[in-house]
A and B are shown apart, each in its own frame.
Chain A
Amino acid sequence: MARLGEVADRLRAKNAGPFWLTIDIFCPDAAAYERVARGLSTAEVARLYGQPTQVLKRFDIPALNVVKISMPRPTVQGSREDRDMHASQWAWLLADLEIG
């Protein structure tokens, strides 16, 4: 078992407009990408962010060794409840996920 943060070489989260969050998981090579693409459960990601699984958009992109996951922001950007104006730190919630 390994943690996602150990297998990927970069995690990036960002606003995709004020209402969406997008997370890019960059893998160092094809082997790491395969491991992440196969081991990362979309349902588990949804649970971590408190979202229903069906609202997540997932893109497995072997050409770039990237798995990308987009979802509605858990809080709307800049609203009273929002804690991260650029949605930039949300990716780190994934770092501790066991991906097999």
Chain B
Amino acid sequence: MGARVLIPTGALGMGFDDAALARALAMAPDIIAVDGGSTDSGPAYLGTGRSKYSRAATKAEWRRLMKARAEAGVPLVVGTAGTCGTDATVDWMAEITAELAAELGQKLTVARLYSDQPAERVATAMAEGRIRPLDPAPEVAEGDFARMTNIVALAGAEQIAAALATGADIVIAGRTTDTATIAALPLTRGVHPGGAWHGAKIGECGSLCTSHATSGVIVIDFDETGFTVEPGLEAARCTPRSVAAHMLYENADPFVLHEPGGHLDVRGAEYAQLDARRVRVTGSEWLPGDYTVKLEGARLVGYQSTILVTLREPRYVENAEAWVERLGGFLRREIERGMGLAEGDYALDFRLIGKSATLGALETSRVVPAEVGVLCIVTAESQERAGEIAKLANPWLLHFPLTDEEPQATFAFPFSPADWARGPLYEFTLNHVMRLDDPMAAFRLEVATVG
């Protein structure tokens, strides 16, 4: 038995075309699956356990999908709920779902799949030799896990299948692989495993694999030999090129995809144009292996304050690199004299916007622009200390001369006060996998009725 999966958008919060969704619903899908996050927006979301998108925007889009689910009478699954897929964002999404169920008059069974990893569990796994670093991985010791603010494991198809097996109308999953929510139902129905994972990878960004990248909706039919992908939007088309090219996206290796329990190899895949809009894919291979789940972690590094000053005087624009070099040395001495802080107690960074802010030392262009923005970034152990350092730097960012022998210069501050508190800085701490004897050993499933 095959399975028809409707993917409404690449990520909940990115929107989709209503006509495309209506057309896809009319095709009688077996499940609606959507991704709710990724690491792509950086470590702050995992660090804090918060969503990137506003609650109001998330609720508005989820309302449309809950109505679509009711119309189709099939399960609706969101993976990596609330950008980072922590227990806190699963609960946030469950709360939104309960509110909407009441507002829409829907009585629903909701399964929550939790992916948070207690520090002790991961430390024990490390002691037992069940943690393996990927390349490149940050150094990590058993004692470091307790200092991470959140650790999650990426669930695969097995955990999503377990959530679906509860008979839930809606599954709200914590961190999952991008593909798991799409592959889970087809795999439980015994479709071609290579086709299931390959189709899930092609579908994980919704309509990005079609001619109309922003329309959102696609429908994938999984069967015993492969899969067929079709855009939701009437005007959109899939071509062998648009489909195959999606394997390149956000993937270091375009032919191999690692998942819990094995890996996908698409080197033998064949892409065929079925008609004007649909592409059929066969020949992808699933190779079973150890059951490992990827881990993600984040920790608080410090707090930041910033000041932006712009230089328009041509001599300063041309010599901006020398200016910040001289200014940095001066400020470090002043910070030591005024606050008693050594260089290792804080960090002072400058980014030259217009010259090298994006690429830093790798920049090869030597074009001299009309103006340069100097973004001064202070990182310290507390927000108060970062703010104190920024305030100490403030008058010098405004007036510091290029040489000792010149009249006082003054530069452009866009704001008053010039410094602003950017808040905490988090960093990713793990690029590791954890071996499990039982796929559910690191995940927790809760079922409730709402509405």
Contacts and interface: CB of A to CB of B under 8 A. Distances in A.
Given A72-B136, A76-B427, A86-B40, 8 more contacts: A20-B252, A24-B248, A79-B301, A80-B302, A83-B357, A84-B358, A85-B42, A89-B358
B253 A70 contact: yes
B416 interface: no
A89 B363 CA distance: 11
B423 interface: no
Contact of B379 (A19, A22, A80): A80
Nearest to A20: B252
B425 interface: yes
B119 to A, nearest CB: 20
Contacts of A22: 248, 250-252
Contact of B245 (A19, A49, A66): A66
A59 B427 contact: no
B138 A83 contact: no
B43 A93 contact: no
A17 B138 CA distance: 14
Given A19-B136, A72-B136, A90-B359, A78 B42 contact: yes
Interface of B: 39-44, 134-138, 241, 244-245, 248-255, 296, 301-302, 347, 349, 351, 357-365, 379, 425-428, 431
Given A77-B42, A83-B357, A85-B41, A66 B431 contact: no
Interface in A44-100: 48-50, 57, 59, 61, 63-64, 66, 68, 70, 72, 74, 76-81, 83-86, 89-90, 93, 96
Interface of A: 14-20, 22, 24, 48-50, 57, 59, 61, 63-64, 66, 68, 70, 72, 74, 76-81, 83-86, 89-90, 93, 96
B213 to A, nearest CB: 13
B379 A83 contact: no
A57 B42 contact: no
A87 to B, nearest CB: 9
A76 B428 contact: yes
A40 B249 CA distance: 21
Given A50-B362, A80-B379, A64 B428 contact: no
Contacts of A18: 39, 43, 296, 428, 431
Nearest to B431: A19
B351 to A, nearest CB: 7
A22 B40 CA distance: 13
Nearest to A63: B244
Nearest to B138: A76
A79 B377 CA distance: 13
A14 B249 contact: yes
Nearest to B134: A19
Given A64-B241, A80-B349, A59 B254 contact: yes
A50 B438 CA distance: 42
In the A-B complex, the 3 residue pairs with the smallest Cβ-Cβ separation, listed nearest first, are A78-B42, A70-B252, A16-B252
B244 A80 contact: no
Contact of A78 (B254, B302, B426): B426
A67 B281 CA distance: 22
A76 B248 CA distance: 21
Contacts of B39: 15, 17-18, 77
Nearest to A14: B250
A57 B427 contact: no
Contacts of A48: 362, 364
Given A66-B245, A85-B42, A80 B254 contact: no
Contacts of A17: 39, 250, 252, 431
A99 to B, nearest CB: 15
A19 B302 CA distance: 21
A43 B313 CA distance: 40
A84 B254 CA distance: 23
B267 to A, nearest CB: 11
